[in-house]
Amino acid sequence: MNIPALRAFFAAALVASTLVFSAATSLAAERPNIILLMGDDHGWDETAYNGHPYLKTPVLDQMAAKGLRLDRFYSGGSSCSPTRGTVMTGRHHNRYGTFNPGWSIRPEEITIAKLLRDAGYACGHFGKWHLGPVKAASPTNPGAMGFEQWLSHDNFFELNPFFSRNGGPPEQFKGESSEIVIREAMRFIDRAKQQQRPFFVVVWFGSPHEPYSGIEKDLSLYHNLPASFANRRVRLTSNETGRNVERLQRDVLRERFAEITAMDRAIGQLRDHLGATGLRPNTLLWYCGDNGTSADANATVPFRAEKGHIYEGGIRVPGIIEWPAQISKPRASDMNAVTSDILPTLCEVAGAPLPKRPLDGISLKPLLDGKMTERPRPIGFWHGLARGEKGKPYIDLELQKGTTPLVKLAGDGRPTRNFQNYIYPKIEAEDFGGPRALVDNRYKLVIDGARGTGKELFDLRNDPAEKKNIIAAQPVVAAKLEQQLRTWQQSVLQSLTGADYR
For position 30, what pLDDT does the model report?
85
Which residue ranges make up each domain of the chain?
30-382, 429-501
What does the radius of gyration of the chain's CA atoms come to, in whole angstroms? 23
DSSP secondary structure code for residue 277 in this structure: T
Which fold would CATH assign to domain 30-382?
Alkaline Phosphatase, subunit A (3.40.720)
Helix, strand or coil, per DSSP, at residue 65: helix
Q: Can you give the pLDDT at residue 386? A: 57
Residues 231-244 have pLDDT tens digits of 999 999 999 999 99
Collapsed DSSP state (helix, strand, coil) of residue 231: helix
Quick: pLDDT tens for 262-271. 999 999 999 9
Asked if residue 226 has a cis previous peptide bond (ω within 30° of 0), the answer is no
A 10 A CB-CB count for 391 gives 12
Regions of the chain where pLDDT drops below 50: 1-28
Residues with Cβ within 8 Å of 424's Cβ and at least 6 positions away in sequence, in order, are: 97, 390, 391, 431, 493, 496, 497, 498
What pLDDT was estimated at residue 387? Answer: 62
Tell me, what amino acid is at 275?
Answer: G
The dihedral through the CA atoms of 376, 492, 124, 56 has a sign that is positive
- Asked if 80 contacts 290 with a C-beta cutoff of 8 angstroms, the reply is yes
In terms of Cβ atoms closer than 10 Å to its own Cβ (0-12, 13-18, 19+), residue 90 is: buried
Report how far residue 423's alpha carbon sits from residue 132's, in angstroms, rounded to the nearest whole number: 16
Residues near 326 by Cβ (< 8 Å), separated by ≥ 6?
Answer: 28, 32, 284, 368, 369
Q: Which helix (H) or strand (E) holds 183?
A: helix 177-194
pLDDT at position 390 is 64
What is the reported pLDDT for 130? 98
Cis peptide, bond prior to residue 211, ω within 30 of zero: yes
Q: Is 38 strand, coil or helix?
A: strand
Report the candidate in 483, 491, 362, 344 with the shortest Cα–Cα distance to residue 431.
Answer: 491
d(CA 108, CA 426): 18
Greatest distance between any 2 Cα atoms in the chain: 87
Helical segments of 327-464, H only: 342-350, 365-368
Instruction: Evaluate whether the domain defined by 429-501 bears CATH number 3.40.50.720.
Output: no
Task: Determine the angle formed by the axes of helices 342-350 and 80-89, rounding to 10 degrees.
Answer: 30
Calpha distance 36→15 (Å, rounded): 36
* Residue 466 near residue 65, CB atoms below 8 Å: no
Q: Report the pLDDT value the prediction gives residue 301, as an integer from 0 to 100.
A: 96
Determine the pLDDT at residue 384.
77
Q: How far apart are the first and last CA of the chain?
A: 75
